[in-house]
Structure 1
Amino acid sequence: MRVLRGAVAGLAVAALAACAAPDIRVAAPTRAAAAPVALPPVKVFTASRPQPPQRSNADIARDFLDLHFRLEGGSTLPQFTRFETPITLRVTGTPAPGFNRDLTALLTRLQTEAGIPVRRVSGGAANITIQSVSRAEIRRALPKAACFVVPNVASLSEYRRNRRSPRTNWSLLRSRGKLAVFIPNDVSPQEVRDCLHEELAQAIGPLNDLYRLPDSIFNDDNIHAVLTGFDMLILRATYAPELRTGMSRAEVAARLPAVLARLNPGGARTASQRLPETPRAWIAAYEQALGPQASLRDRLRAANTAAAIARDLGWQDHRRALSHYTLGRMLHVREPELALQHFLTAQTYLQGLPGTRMHQAKLAVQLAAYEIAAGNGGAALARLTPAAAAAAQHENAALLSTLLMLQAEALDLQGRVVEARRVRLDSLGWARYGFGPDWAVEARLEEIAALRPSGS
């Protein structure tokens, strides 16, 4: 399930887009808002360039087992499940514009990168039904979800009738034959695509999410927008001929080393860097900090609790950085200097850490915004250039457009007006995919334009 996150510091963009796009306002506006612009056509990513996993096969085997034999609430599953026949998929409802293009691209990746026999059918029964409905309908069915997947049903109405039935209980699932994925059709194109990736991956693969994974969509931190190289390896291993539905955790564990050695030989030569488990206390605090329902005071208290737990456990990984990044985002309007310290602290834990390019790219937005507000165009560009490359590789249009808008402001500060105009125009096509409606694109453009010091 992709979780609906509320904005933690009052973004002037749609709430769903706020999950994918970082907060950037660090001070009150200092010059007039940007003039309205004619928006170019929507830009889309045409080729995937996933990075192979950078961790050891021993660590990946542990991840595989925890992803397949645990659920997000902490309960365990007694046996391994997957589809044992070629998978058919159909689409119902009213798909959003661009939906078919993104679904076709995803199915192609699943077939070629993960070796999964999945194909779309035009009618009749199917193993997986993707139903496109409004965001409001999804939230009426599951209030905290942006999108979700359910076993043994084929429509939202069927789910409503059976939501408390054992048939829709993931912990009771013993085989996979019929599932439904519910996707919003009235949000930004990127949000639709992100939901497709996450929910379809869980429909055919692991059911769990793990905060300890820095390089995966199987993680409720929403850092990654599309399936990564690690995710495709997990899915390919899920459908390895050595495994089958009904196996116990011990039986799968016994066969995994050979499976991973065959599929990921480089991982056999990589040293283990086993990250500790994520305690429920940290998860609860982090999720309350990001939740849209609690007051700002309660969210701040929760964010400080998460940071304290990470400190007391001695973490040196992306989860500790996330704790400080979250605090920075919540404090940047009321206490910008303290927020900056949290952002810089997060940076110290991410530098040189494998699998965290997207974490660093989102952090670069925050740090570059401070540089622009201070008139330091060169320093901002030094942060933004590698971050934009990471956002493009990971196909995050909302983040890429934000980074390019910031680049344009930094270039203007250096007097590179023609180059700034070209970069800003480029950002708008990506923004239309990432943020959706024109008003959301223009609001983000104006918010970033307000960062630059007056008179510059």
Structure 2
Amino acid sequence: MMRLPVLLAALCVVSACAPPAQVSKSRPPAEVGVGFGDPNAFRAVSAPLAGSSLTRDFMDLTFAMESGRGLDTFSRFEGPVTVAMTGNVPGSAARDLGALIGRLQGEAGIDISPASGEATITVEFASRSELRRLAPTAACFVVPNVSSLAEYRKKRGSDEVDWALVTQRERAAIFIPADTSPQEVRDCLHEELAQALGPLNDLYRLPDSVFNDDNFHSVLTGFDMEILRLTYSPSLASGMSREEVAARLGTSAGLTGMGGTPADWTRAIETALGRNGSLASRQAAAERALSIAEAAGWSDSRAAFSYFAVGRLMAGREPERALQAFEQAAAIYSRLPGGDVQLAHVDMQLAAMALAGGLAEEAVRLADRAIPVVRRHENAALLATLMLVKAEALEQLGNPAAAAALRLDSEPWARYGFGSDSVVKARMRDIAAVANRAGNG
């Protein structure tokens, strides 16, 4: 077992480096850009669940909302879809939206294209503070039957912007903060455009999907593309009932037992990994979520996520307990399709703990194992964090030249993932502090 000091500073950085939540919120420089290589490489990472599993997941995603409210009618856009951007559009957004639209065309078979001016789906960029006044807990959000923030303000609270009352999608608007990192902009584009086009629900049980509030996945997976392809199948049409859709898909009309995650568990997870409350209350919430998962006999991603939450929150106070929780999370994720990115998140947490404990070789090993996976999954913030952790470990091992070179290599990823130079330098100082080394950034 690792020799780990009980360091509050380590806990703070482990919690901040790669949380299953939204990424950095500083305004990015317009010229930031990174390339993840062959765009086809990501598609091979995730094989969609087949047959009845896919249709079961489709029904559970399509006929309910995140709030738990059921939907009686299937809705989608009928005919070609166009997407336009407006407002204070970040410099990286056009490239990332173009790449996403290309994937939706090629992988999901959707007739979708970029546009200027009036469009089926409008993506409006505004300040974070302005968006928070309308949706205090959302990093970004999508609304039906409007094309601008001004129009949404007028219709807010009316039946017209109630997704549950939509029987055919005609227009939608996505609202994204302009003053945030390029990666958060891209992640919002992926998640909100997917929900504008398809399912409005998220399921914690799905290991290989952005339709999951654990937020491990940054971009749409192969599974997500299969769900969207099914949404736009010629055999389906807007206005169909749950029973009619089920009959066309040859599956059950009802939501499956696995579709229902107890509200108590969801509340506990949200409290544990939220921004409010004391550390002690959040730790207690994580333990409560784990108790619910164990009592239910879960062995899916919900159980693994419960262990992960305990590990994150116990790393500073009870490192041995954290290690045990991370090991149990990893054991479950290793059995799940698409669980490699979750394992990379676990490795990042363990690498930071190893760095704090002076176990530099172990930190390098863990970082090296996670980095290729994270690169494939296009998470620049996590990639930069792993590179910076490895750089500090190399410094501990007496190789400052290699450490300096790795920090330099990490800069484009860090700027894309975290945003402004000031945030990047702050992250470098935080990771240096975990290594008990004064940062000079």
TM-score range, shorter chain: 0.7 to 0.9
User: 1:27-75, CA deviations, whole angstroms, 9 ceiling, x for partnerless residues?
Assistant: xxxxxxxxxxxxx965343543222425332111101011111111112
| Structure 1: distance between partners of 2:185 and 2:346 | 24
| 2:298 is aligned with 1:315 | yes
Given the alignment, which residue of 400, 409, 423 partners 2:406?
Answer: 423
The code of the aligned residue for 1:410 comes to A
Given the alignment, which residue of 302, 307, 312 partners 1:329?
Answer: 312
Inter-CA distance 370–21: structure 2 relative to 1 (3 Å threshold): farther
- 2:428 is aligned to 445
| Structure 2: distance between partners of 1:12 and 1:342 | 15
Q: How many residues align?
A: 415
- Secondary structure of the residue that 2:139 maps to in structure 1? strand
Question: 1:335 Cα shift?
Answer: 3.5
Question: 1:88 Cα shift?
Answer: 1.6
Contact preservation (8 Å) 1:16, 1:187: no
- Can you give the 5+ residue segments of structure 1 that lack an aligned partner in the other structure? 1-7, 23-39, 259-273
Deviates more, 1:373-382 or 1:437-446: 373-382
| Structure 2: distance between partners of 1:140 and 1:208 | 23
Deviates more, 1:212-221 or 1:279-288: 279-288
- 1:376 is aligned to 359
- 1:56 is aligned to 50
Inter-CA distance 41–287: structure 2 relative to 1 (3 Å threshold): closer
| 2:120 is aligned with 1:133 | no
Inter-CA distance 276–170: structure 2 relative to 1 (3 Å threshold): closer
Question: 1:21 Cα shift?
Answer: 5.8
- 1:66 is aligned to 60
Contact preservation (8 Å) 1:435, 1:441: yes
Question: 1:414 Cα shift?
Answer: 3.7
Deviating beyond 4 angstroms after TM superposition, the runs of 4 or more aligned structure 1 residues are 8-18
The code of the aligned residue for 1:95 comes to V
- Secondary structure of the residue that 1:181 maps to in structure 2? strand
| 2:367 is aligned with 1:356 | no
The code of the aligned residue for 1:59 comes to S
| 2:213 is aligned with 1:211 | no
Inter-CA distance 88–389: structure 2 relative to 1 (3 Å threshold): same
- 1:19 is aligned to 21
Contact preservation (8 Å) 1:325, 1:342: yes
Contact preservation (8 Å) 2:14, 2:353: no
| Structure 2: distance between partners of 1:161 and 1:182 | 15
| Structure 1: distance between partners of 2:18 and 2:104 | 26
- Can you give the 5+ residue segments of structure 2 that lack an aligned partner in the other structure? 1-9, 25-30, 252-256
User: 1:398-442, CA deviations, whole angstroms, 9 ceiling, x for partnerless residues?
Assistant: 001111112222333444444333322211210000000111111
- Secondary structure of the residue that 1:220 maps to in structure 2? coil
TM-score by length of 2: 0.87
| Structure 2: distance between partners of 1:440 and 1:65 | 41
Question: 1:216 Cα shift?
Answer: 0.3
Q: How do 1:181-220 residues align onto structure 2 when only pairs under 5 Å count? A: 181-220=174-213
| 2:228 is aligned with 1:245 | no
- 1:93 is aligned to 87
Given the alignment, which residue of 176, 180, 195 partners 2:173?
Answer: 180
- Secondary structure of the residue that 1:150 maps to in structure 2? strand
- 1:231 is aligned to 224
User: 1:113-162, CA deviations, whole angstroms, 9 ceiling, x for partnerless residues?
Assistant: 11111112212x32111111011111001100100000111111221221
Q: How do 1:377-396 residues align onto structure 2 when only pairs under 5 Å count? A: 377-396=360-379
| Structure 2: distance between partners of 1:321 and 1:72 | 20
| 2:166 is aligned with 1:166 | no
The code of the aligned residue for 1:449 comes to A
- 1:120 is aligned to 114
TM-score by length of 1: 0.84
| Structure 1: distance between partners of 2:14 and 2:358 | 23
- Secondary structure of the residue that 2:174 maps to in structure 1? strand
- 1:43 is aligned to 34
Q: CA RMSD in A?
A: 2.7
Inter-CA distance 80–322: structure 2 relative to 1 (3 Å threshold): same
| Structure 2: distance between partners of 1:363 and 1:21 | 17
Contact preservation (8 Å) 2:308, 2:329: yes
- 2:73 is aligned to 79
Contact preservation (8 Å) 1:212, 1:277: no
| Percentage of pairs with the same residue | 49
Question: 1:15 Cα shift?
Answer: 11
| Structure 1: distance between partners of 2:391 and 2:359 | 13
Contact preservation (8 Å) 1:327, 1:342: yes
- 1:34 is aligned to none
The code of the aligned residue for 2:189 comes to L
Contact preservation (8 Å) 2:13, 2:431: no
